[in-house]
Copies of this chain bind each other. A is one copy, B any other.
C-alpha cells in the first residue's frame, strides 16, 4: 500500500472557512485527516492528512480551490510569512512512495490549480526546477505585500499559471519534501524584541542550526510570545539539540519556557531522539519501540495481507 502525507497551509483562521476547507478533504474516500491547527495570531490553518496518491491529490485540489474561493488576501493580516490564500502545499512520502512520486504529484497539483483557478504557482523543495526555489523563504521573500512587484521579475516567473498579480488569491507554493518537525515554544515574556533575538539565534540563515527555521510571534490573548520552529531534517539536527540551545538563549534574557507544542504531527523518530538524549540511552531506534516492532513483525509475517 502506498501512503502520501499532505500538509497544506492556508491563510485563514476563520472557523467557518476552516470548516468548509476541511469538508472538501473529508469528502474524499481514501483521504484521512490527522491534524488541524489554526489560530488568529498567525491567522493560518495547517492541516495534515494522508491517503493514497490519487486521493491525496484530489483532496488537496478540492481544498485549495475552496480556499481560493473563500479567502481574500486583500483583507489578510497575520504574523506568519505567506504569499497566498493557499500558501504552501507540500507532498510528503509516507509509505512505499518515493520523493520522485511526490514531486510528480506536486507538479500535477500545481498545473491543475493554475489552470482551474488562474493562480500563479511556484514549485519548491524537491520539486523545484531552479536551485534558489528549493528554499521556501526565497520564494516567499517580501510576502504577499511585495508579490505584485516581485511576480513580474524574470527570475520570479511562476512555474505554472500567469506571471501576473492575483490580488485575491496571491500565489501558491507547492512541492515535495521529507517529513519535518514543527515545534512551537511559549515564552513568559511579552517582549517581541527578545523573542526575535532568541528565534534569530536558532535560524539557519542567521547563524543558527542547519535545517532550522525559527520565527517569533506575539500571542495577544496570553500576552506572551512564541518561538515557532520547523526542523526540516530532524535526523541531522535533532529536536533536543535545538531545544537545549533555545533554553540557553532564554536563560540569557531571563526568560522561561511556559510550554511547548508540536505544530502538526510529531514524527516518531524526533520523539525517540528526545527520549534517548534525556534518558542517556545511546542508539535508541524505532525498532526498539514495542508498538512499532510488533507492527513490523506482523506485517513481515503477512498478517496484513
A interface residue numbers (CB < 8 A to B): 1, 3, 5, 30, 32, 34-35, 48, 50, 94-95, 179, 183, 185, 239-240, 243, 257-262, 265-268, 271-272, 274-275, 278-282, 284, 286, 288-295, 297-298, 300-301, 303-304
Assess whether A266 is in contact with B243, with CB atoms less than 8 Å apart: no
When the two chains form their complex, are residues A30 and B301 in contact, meaning their CB atoms are under 8 A apart?
yes
Contacts known (A94-B294, A297-B50, A304-B304); A278 close to B289, Cβ less than 8 A: no
CB distance from A182 to the nearest CB of B (A): 11
**Per DSSP, are chain A's interface residues mostly helix, strand or loop, or mixed?**
mixed
Chain B residues with CB under 8 A of A281:
259-262
Q: Report the Cα distance A5→B281, complex, angstroms.
A: 24
Considering the chains assembled together, what is the distance between the CA atoms of A275 and B277 in angstroms? 10
Check B294–A266 contact: CB distance below 8 A.
Answer: no
* A294 / chain B contacts, CB cutoff of 8 Å: 3, 5, 34, 50, 94-95
- Given A34-B297, A294-B34, also A266-B280 (CB < 8 A): no
CA of A259 to CA of B282 in the docked complex: distance in angstroms? Answer: 7
Residues in B neighbouring A279, C-beta threshold 8 A:
183, 239-240, 243, 260, 274
When all copies of this chain in the complex are counted, the total is 2
Could you say which residues of chain B place their CB within 8 Å of the CB of A289?
A: 265-268, 271
Which residues of chain B are within 8 angstroms of A303 by Cβ–Cβ distance? Answer: 1
Partner of A268, one of B34, B284, B291, B298: B291
Known: A50-B298, A262-B281. 9 other contacts (CB 8 A): A1-B298, A32-B297, A34-B290, A95-B294, A257-B280, A258-B280, A266-B275, A266-B290, A291-B292
The docked-state distance in angstroms from the alpha carbon of A257 to that of B289 is 23
A270 CB to closest chain B CB (Å) equals 8
Question: Shortest beta-carbon distance, A30 to chain B, in Å?
Answer: 7
CB distance from A132 to the nearest CB of B (A): 30
Tell me whether A268 and B290 are in contact (CB under 8 A). Answer: yes
Whole-angstrom distance between the alpha carbons of A304 and B259 in the complex? 37
| Chain B residues whose CB sits within 8 angstroms of the CB of A272 once the complex forms | 271
Shortest CB distance A59–B (Å): 13
In angstroms, how far is the closest chain B Cβ from the Cβ of A238?
Answer: 12
CB distance from A101 to the nearest CB of B (A): 17
CA distance A284 to B239 in the complex (A): 15
Instruction: For the complex of A and B, list the 8 residue pairs with the smallest distance between their C-beta atoms, beginning with the closest.
Output: A32-B297, A265-B290, A274-B275, A271-B275, A278-B278, A268-B291, A304-B304, A260-B280
